[in-house]
């Protein structure tokens, strides 16, 4: 099945609900987005002020229209709040691959099992619904927490692109490329995700 940017995709399990990011999520997500200025310190897309966060959503909507990125809002059922966002991007239906990225959660929702629940939903959709063959992750070399999180869910480091991206503060970041392949997914799903997920 091809990925289509026009489809209203809902991904849901006991812990998380992912739905297409829209401007009506601005108000419920704003307190989370601006609570910590360094929430996205390794991202080229800062969102720590009301103006920047509005621009962030507008950019996400534009990138969906041009079929580059499909952003989701993340609702944590455990606390009954919108707590972050994640995206599919760089989709190639011909090559049957996509990227998962642009992921952020409020500081208090990190390391609670939420990210694992969201990644289970997204990876299951990519491999089981779309029958894609490859999922990619791109992470700032300095962002050890995100690198560790991807490694814990089975992502394999393929290499580091040196001086790869220009950051808002002028720094040129090097980018780590990780991937999970379709033939690796059944074992990863069983080993990593089918343990009891935190509720």
Domain boundary assignment for the chain: 11-193
Q: Do residues 71 and 35 make contact, with C-beta atoms less than 8 angstroms apart?
A: no
pLDDT confidence of residue 97? 98
**Distance between the two ends of the chain, CA-based, in angstroms?**
31
Q: What is the pLDDT along the chain (199 residues), one digit of tens a residue?
A: 999 999 999 999 999 999 999 999 999 999 998 887 665 554 556 777 899 999 999 999 999 999 999 999 999 999 999 999 999 999 999 999 999 999 999 888 777 889 999 999 999 999 999 999 999 999 989 888 889 989 999 999 999 989 877 766 777 888 999 999 999 999 999 988 876 544 4
Q: Do residues 144 and 42 make contact, with C-beta atoms less than 8 angstroms apart?
A: no
Q: Do residues 50 and 43 make contact, with C-beta atoms less than 8 angstroms apart?
A: no
**Number of Cβ within a 10 Å radius of residue 152:** 12
Its pTM stands at: 0.90
Q: How far apart are alpha carbons 9 and 4 in whole angstroms?
A: 9
pLDDT confidence of residue 127? 98
Q: Do residues 177 and 161 make contact, with C-beta atoms less than 8 angstroms apart?
A: yes
Beta-carbon contacts of residue 27 (< 8 Å; ≥ 6 apart): none
pLDDT confidence of residue 198? 47
pLDDT confidence of residue 41? 54
CATH superfamily of 11-193: Gcn5-related N-acetyltransferase (GNAT) (3.40.630.30)
What phi and psi, each to the nearest 5 degrees, are found at residue 69?
Answer: -140, 140
């Amino acid at each position: 099945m091809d990925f289509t940017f026009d489809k209203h995709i809902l991904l849901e399990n006991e812990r998380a609900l992912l739905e297409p990011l829209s401007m009506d999520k601005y108000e419920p997500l704003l307190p989370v987005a601006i609570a910590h200025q360094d929430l996205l310190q390794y991202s080229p897309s800062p969102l720590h002020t009301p103006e920047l966060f509005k621009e962030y959503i507008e950019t996400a909507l534009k990138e969906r229209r041009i079929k580059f990125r499909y952003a989701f809002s993340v609702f944590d059922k455990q606390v009954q709040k919108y707590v972050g966002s994640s995206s599919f991007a760089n989709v190639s239906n011909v090559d049957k691959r996509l990227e998962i990225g642009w992921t952020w959660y409020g500081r208090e929702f990190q390391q609670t099992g939420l990210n694992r629940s969201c990644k289970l939903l997204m990876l299951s959709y990519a491999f089981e619904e779309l029958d894609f063959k490859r999922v990619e992750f791109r992470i700032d070399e300095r962002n050890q927490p995100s690198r560790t999180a991807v490694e814990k869910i089975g992502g394999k480091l393929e290499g580091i692109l040196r001086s790869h991206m220009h950051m808002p503060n002028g720094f040129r970041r090097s980018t780590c490329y990780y991937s999970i392949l379709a033939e690796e997914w059944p074992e990863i799903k069983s080993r990593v995700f089918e343990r009891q997920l935190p509720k």
